Amino acid sequence: MSATAPETTIYSGHPSWRSMLDFHLAGLFGALAGGAIARLASGNWGYAVAAFAAILAISLLIGLIRRISTTYTITDRRLHIRRGILSRTEQHTTIDRVQNVETHQTLFERVLRIGTVNFDTAATDDSDFAFVGIASPKVVVAAVDRAQQLTSRADPLDPAG
């Protein structure tokens, strides 16, 4: 495989909206509180409904931006995590450096069908490389397995290939 060959994307996704359920519930309760305060302060239901709607809309917009500003990608050569819009953090590791893949789901996450996929890499121990809040973590694990199989077939010096 040459260094200029294009990479094939095997998986690309964002955290599930279900992984941000706590944020959305906090926004809903904040909107309720804002509506109640507006009603008590003004005595007008119109202001209360407007305050509730405005706070809820802002909360949903912030949640959407937080969700879409994180992208997880698996290609036939690497794992990639990109976070942020204005300031950006990116993490990369090559598929051949992935030594272990572990999924973690709490009971609540299992009910919501979300989870975290942790990757142990050949990097230092303080390297935290994880896809957090993923819908169907088994799909991500299968995508990594597929990428590793593609990499081992492409490397003629690999004894496993």
Average pLDDT value for the chain: 88
Query: What is the 8-class DSSP label of residue 14?
Result: -
Q: Which domain holds residue 24?
A: 20-66
Q: Do the beta carbons of residue 96 and residue 151 sit within 8 Å?
A: yes
Query: Comparing C-alpha atoms, which of 32, 28, 26 is closest to residue 48?
Result: 32
Say if residue 83 is in the same domain as residue 49.
no
38 inside domain: yes
1 inside domain: no
Q: How confident is the model over 31-76, as pLDDT tens digits?
A: 999 999 999 999 999 999 999 999 999 999 999 999 999 999 999 9
Single-letter code of the amino acid located at 121: T
Q: Using CA atoms, how far apart are residues 132 and 112, in angstroms rounded to an integer? A: 14
7 inside domain: no
Say if residue 116 is in the same domain as residue 59.
no
Joined tokens for residue 92: 């990369």
Query: Comparing C-alpha atoms, which of 126, 134, 129 is closest to residue 78?
Result: 129
Domain count within the chain:
2
Single-letter code of the amino acid located at 83: R
CATH number at residue 134: 2.30.29
Identify the pLDDT of residue 161: 43
Say if residue 147 is in the same domain as residue 120.
yes
The whole-number average pLDDT for the span 79-96 is 92
47 inside domain: yes
12 inside domain: no
Joined tokens for residue 161: 């290939």
Record the pTM.
0.79
131 inside domain: yes
138 inside domain: yes
93 inside domain: yes
Say if residue 56 is in the same domain as residue 105.
no
Q: How many CB atoms lie within 10 A of CB 40?
A: 9
89, 93, 95, 143, 161 from 148: Cα distances, Å: 25, 13, 6, 9, 10
Segment (H or E) for 94: strand 89-94
